[in-house]
Amino acid sequence: MHLSQSQYIRELLQHTNMLASKPYPTPMVSNTRLQQNSSEIFSDPTLYRSVVGTLQYLLVTRPELSYFVNKVAQFMHSSQLHHWQSVKRILRYLAGTIDHGLLLHQQSSSFIKAFSDAD
């Protein structure tokens, strides 16, 4: 079974006008330091929050992005231009890995356990 959210990613890329963007091989440069008050304020904070929230939902099938999405989510209250550039890099990575997801192999004793805290 292959779990992927390829259509969800395509819609996100289309919403952000990045469907035809150049794909990047990694979601973030290793020496990237995201800080508060180090560049100008991003002009559309609603777009930033919307895209980062969408990326958080995407983590269900793309756990390799957890660290990077967590980093950009720390600045949702006051996003700046360099934060948005980091989000765009994640989106470019997704443009090149649209069909990636979780591959579950059938085994004789395999089962899926899940926990959810509704609070």
Does residue 43 carry a pLDDT above 80?
Answer: yes
Taking only the tens place, the pLDDT of each residue in 49-75 is: 999 999 999 998 999 999 999 999 998
Give the C-alpha separation, 59 to 44, whole Å: 23
More confident call, 30 vs 53: 53
Measured N-to-C along each axis, helices 45-58 and 81-96 cross at an angle, to the nearest 10 degrees, of 40
Structure tokens at 42: 């991003």
Are 1 and 101 in contact, with CB atoms under 8 Å apart?
no
* Across 24-33, 58-67, 91-100, least confident range: 24-33
Give the C-alpha separation, 75 to 51, whole Å: 12
Q: State the pLDDT at residue 47.
A: 94
Q: How many CB atoms lie within 10 A of CB 22?
A: 8
Per-residue pLDDT, averaged over 8-24, amounts to 94
Structure tokens at 63: 């756990």
Categorize the per-residue pLDDT at 109 as very low, low, confident or very high, splitting at 50, 70 and 90: low
For the whole model, what pTM was predicted?
0.84
Give the C-alpha separation, 89 to 62, whole Å: 16
Q: Three-state DSSP class for 117?
A: coil
Q: State the pLDDT at residue 34.
A: 76
Q: State the pLDDT at residue 110.
A: 65
More confident call, 95 vs 118: 95
Q: What is the dihedral of CA 59, 33, 46, 88, to 10 degrees?
A: -70
Beta bridge partners of 2: 103
